[in-house]
């Protein structure tokens, strides 16, 4: 299924422990996809382990690439983040260049989805890693959304609140200026109500941390989103 139609996805961190039973419930929850990705501790070994345990289910699986070393065939999609508000060039296009030098000739571009990230929570791990040191305000976010849509023609603009629930006014402002680029929202979704609120504004809602803290609550977010009209 085309990611343009994704309304809900779970983000599963290869560096965190998860039981086979929990994985099965996520895979068969009715979510549109599983995104395998994390900010640190991601290795080829833990990615392959998760891949092997997930591929028995029919749910689409994407690898969100954070280190070149952990890339492996077998995923339906490869999400490539470019952190638009990073202060370190390596996270805008530097690691990408290194990866393209090594693997550019053998990449299947139909499986590759470039995501324009805007990291809003400056205290999260991804912010520290990429050098996001200033909280972008609504105007900043709107300008990054336009950059994703018009300048770089990215298929996805990813508003990342990582661990904190976002400001609906900002999410709405980003949504308003996007047309071809899809808006992914991630951060702080802990229950069905949170998921519904952000799904009213964003194209796709990503649920991550709560998987590890309260699996039942995480699972309720699927139906909350999937029963909405958009």
154: alpha, beta or left? (left if phi > 0; alpha if psi -120 to 50) = beta
Closest distance to a copy of itself from the beta carbon of 104 (Å):
5
- Of residues 69-128, which lie at the interface with a copy of itself (CB under 8 A)? 80, 82, 84-89, 92-93, 96-97, 100-101, 104, 107, 109, 112, 114
Residue closer to a copy of itself by CB (options 24, 140) is 140
176 makes contact with a copy of itself (CB under 8 A) = no
Residues forming beta bridges with residue 186, ordered by sequence position = 160, 206
- The count of C-alpha atoms lying within 13 angstroms of the C-alpha of 216, restricted to the half-sphere facing its C-beta, is 0
Query: Does residue 134 belong to the site contacting a copy of itself (CB under 8 A)?
Result: no
Tell me whether residue 39 is annotated as binding.
Answer: yes
E strand or H helix at 51: helix 44-54
Does residue 68 sit in helix, strand or coil? helix
Cβ–Cβ < 8 Å for 23, 36: no
Contact between 140 and a copy of itself by CB under 8 A: the answer reads yes
- Please pick, from the candidates 151, 193, 214, 227, the single residue that binds a copy of itself as defined by CB under 8 A: 151
**Contact indicator for 70, 62 with CB cutoff of 8 Å:** no
As a residue count, the chain comes to 230
188 is in an annotated binding site: yes
Contact with a copy of itself (CB under 8 A) among 53, 55, 128, 146: 146
CB of 170 to a copy of itself, least distance (A): 14
Residue among 38, 65, 75, 81 at smallest CA distance from 209: 38
Q: Rule CB under 8 A: which residues touch a copy of itself? A: 80, 82, 84-89, 92-93, 96-97, 100-101, 104, 107, 109, 112, 114, 139-140, 142-144, 146-147, 150-154, 177
């Amino acid at each position: 299924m085309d990611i343009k139609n994704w309304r809900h996805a779970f983000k599963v961190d290869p560096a965190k422990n998860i039981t086979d039973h929990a994985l099965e419930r996520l895979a068969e929850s009715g979510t549109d996809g599983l995104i395998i990705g994390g900010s640190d501790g991601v290795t080829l070994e833990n990615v392959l382990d998760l891949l092997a345990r997930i591929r028995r289910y029919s749910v689409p699986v994407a690898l969100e690439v954070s280190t070149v070393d952990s890339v492996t065939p077998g995923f339906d999609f490869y999400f490539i983040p470019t952190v638009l508000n990073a202060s370190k060039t390596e996270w805008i296009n530097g690691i990408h260049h290194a990866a393209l030098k090594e693997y550019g000739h053998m990449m299947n571009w139909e499986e590759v989805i470039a995501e324009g990230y805007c990291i809003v929570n400056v205290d999260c791990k991804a912010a520290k890693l990429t050098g996001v040191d200033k909280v972008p305000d609504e105007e900043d976010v709107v300008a990054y959304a336009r950059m994703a849509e018009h300048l770089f023609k990215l298929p996805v603009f990813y508003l990342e609140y990582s661990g904190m629930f976002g400001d609906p006014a900002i999410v709405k402002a980003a949504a308003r200026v996007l047309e071809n680029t899809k808006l992914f929202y991630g951060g702080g979704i802990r229950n069905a109500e949170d998921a519904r609120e952000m799904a009213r504004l964003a194209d796709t809602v990503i649920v991550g941390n709560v998987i590890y803290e309260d699996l039942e609550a995480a699972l309720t977010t699927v139906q909350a989103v999937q029963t909405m009209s958009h």
